[in-house]
């Protein structure tokens, strides 16, 4: 669950709410969905709090293949 994309988690959560709102769900199933929804919203909150920036530079190696090189904050400053 930790690997889920933030957007996907939001979408899933929205879908669960929709399903609940349709109301033709057994109590048991509704409870299950509700718990799943709570877990998703917990994951989203966590992702909101703990998001880390990731900045890469697209480069090509000698073979002409693409490579992503992490961009340090310093290198940006130096080049200025």
Partner 1 sequence: MKDLFEGTKHSETRHIYSVAELTRDIKAILENTFINVWVEGEISNFARTDKGILFFSLKDNAGLLRCVMFGSLAGAVKFEIKDGMKMVCFGRVGVYEKDGRYQLYVEKIEPKGIGSLQLALEQLKEKLEKEGLFAPEHKRPIPYLPARIGIVTSITGAAIKDILNVLERRFKDAQIIINSVQVQGEGAKDDIARGIKDFNRFNAQVLPREKVEVLIVGRGGGSIEDLWAFNEETVARAIYTSSIPVISAIGHERDWTIADLVADVRAPTPSVAAELVIPRKEDLQEKLTGLQGGLRKGFSDVLAGSKDGLADLNHRLGLAMEHSWVLNRNHLESAVKKLLLLNPAVIIEQSMERIADSVKQMAVRMKHAFALKDSAFRAAVDTLASLSPLNILARGYSITFKMPEGGIIKDAGFLSKGDSIKTRLDKGEVISEVREIVRGRE
What residues line the site for partner 1 (CB under 8 A)?
5-7, 10, 13-14, 16-17, 19-21, 23, 25, 27, 30-31, 33-34, 37-38, 41, 44-45, 47-48, 51-58, 65-66, 68, 71, 76, 79-80
Least CB distance from residue 41 to partner 1, whole Å?
Answer: 5
- Measured CA to CA, the distance from residue 41 to residue 35 in angstroms comes to 10
Least CB distance from residue 42 to partner 1, whole Å?
Answer: 10
Q: Which residues, at least 6 apart from 25, have a Cβ–Cβ distance to it below 8 Å?
A: 19, 33
C-beta closer to partner 1: residue 1 or 7: 7
Q: Specify the 3-state DSSP secondary structure of 70.
A: strand
């Amino acid at each position: 669950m930790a690997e889920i994309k933030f957007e996907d988690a939001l979408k899933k959560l929205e879908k669960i709410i929709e399903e609940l709102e349709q109301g033709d769900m057994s109590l048991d199933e509704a409870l299950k969905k509700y718990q799943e929804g709570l877990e998703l919203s917990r994951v989203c909150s966590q992702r909101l709090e703990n998001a880390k920036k990731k900045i890469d530079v697209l480069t090509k190696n000698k073979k002409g293949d693409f490579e992503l090189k992490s961009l340090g904050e310093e290198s940006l400053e130096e080049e200025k």
